[in-house]
């Protein structure tokens, strides 16, 4: 009689997948031509589809319902709102990707951070590396991190918080969140790098991509798109 074996299934200890809330806010179209779209992404909408099948809803998929061919050349975090450029064909994608790689695209963000920032302006130059045990977080690593530079300027101080303008020279993941946290002024509503008090001080991540300036990938004309931060940024 042939031997028989019992198969033992090991318990799975993986945490359940994170399911993204489905944002009901509309995508606002700021500019359109045959080569590019410029849009205002709402908070709590992925830029590109997530890995889990239930996280497929995203900016790119929603736009694809109206436009035959769209591509992702950069991203905003799920919680971050604001201006994004979307190439409409491969040639536009290539031209914009080159500008991002060569750091020829100017990006400006608004953020409300915890505390009254003492200086009027400054910069944070701290290299970043993935924090593998705590993915998708990043962390500062002076030995082997990739260069990351952020310039900032205070616009307003009130109610133990500051409204600041952020200009990332590099484009590392979570760069603005980490850099502000590292200088003692975490972005309000940040669930990754802010202490509990700063996290609870706002109903959302108080980070908004307010301006994007770049050369049109085909004509070479300078384009500037702007989106003011939500009224909530001034109300806290």
Token reading at 226: 């702007």
Q: Does residue 88 fall inside a structural domain? A: yes
Angle at 117 (CA atoms; ends 112, 119), nearest 5 degrees: 130
Q: Is residue 14 part of a domain?
A: no
Split the chain (236 residues) into runs of 10 and give each run's mean pLDDT: 41 61 88 98 93 83 94 96 98 98 97 97 98 94 97 95 97 97 98 97 97 98 97 85
pLDDT recorded at residue 123: 98
Known catalytic residue: 77? yes
Residue 13 domain-assigned?
no
Does 20 reside within a domain? Answer: no
Task: Find all residues with CB under 8 Å of 78, minimum gap 6, and list them.
Answer: 20, 43, 44, 45, 46, 47
Is 79 within a domain?
A: yes
pTM across the whole model: 0.89
CA distances from 74 to 71, 77, 78, 87, 160 (A): 9, 10, 13, 10, 33
Neighbours of 103 (CB within 10 A): 13
CA-wise closest residue to 99 among 230, 210, 233, 222: 222
Domain annotation covers residue 1 = no
Residue range of the domain that includes 154:
28-235
Q: Which pair of tokens denotes residue 234?
A: 């001034």
The residue written with tokens 């609870």 in the block is 200
What's the longest Cα–Cα distance across the chain?
A: 84
- Is 112 contained in some domain? yes
The total number of structural domains that make up the chain: 1
β-strand 207-215 against 81-87: which pairing, if any? parallel
**How many CA atoms does the CB half-sphere of 1 hold within 13 Å?**
3
Which of 77, 106, 119, 125 is catalytic? The answer is 77
Residue 74's CATH number: 3.30.2350.10
- The pair of structure tokens assigned to 103 is 């750091």
pLDDT score of 1:
45
What does the alpha-carbon distance between residue 71 and residue 14 come to, in Å, rounded to a whole number?
32
């Amino acid at each position: 009689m042939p031997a028989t074996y019992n198969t033992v299934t090991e318990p799975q200890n993986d945490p359940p997948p994170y399911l993204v809330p489905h944002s009901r806010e509309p995508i606002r179209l700021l500019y359109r031509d045959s080569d590019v779209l410029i849009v205002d992404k709402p908070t709590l909408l992925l830029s590109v589809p997530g890995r889990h099948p239930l996280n497929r809803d995203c900016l790119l998929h929603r736009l694809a319902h109206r436009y035959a061919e769209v591509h992702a050349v950069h991203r905003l975090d799920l919680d971050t709102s604001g201006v994004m450029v979307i190439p409409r064909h491969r040639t536009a994608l290539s031209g914009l990707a080159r500008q991002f790689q060569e750091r020829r695209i100017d990006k400006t963000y608004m953020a409300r951070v915890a505390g009254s920032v003492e200086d009027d302006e400054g910069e944070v130059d701290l290299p970043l590396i993935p924090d593998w045990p705590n993915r998708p977080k990043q962390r500062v690593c002076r030995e082997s991190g990739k260069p990351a530079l952020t310039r900032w300027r205070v616009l307003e101080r009130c109610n133990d918080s500051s409204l600041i303008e952020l200009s990332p020279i590099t484009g590392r993941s979570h760069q603005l969140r980490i850099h502000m946290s590292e200088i003692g002024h975490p972005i309000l509503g940040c669930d990754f790098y802010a202490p509990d008090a700063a996290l609870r001080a706002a109903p959302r991540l108080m980070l908004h991509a307010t301006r994007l300036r770049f050369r049109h990938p085909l004509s070479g004309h300078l384009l500037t798109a702007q989106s003011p931060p939500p009224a909530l940024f001034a109300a806290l």
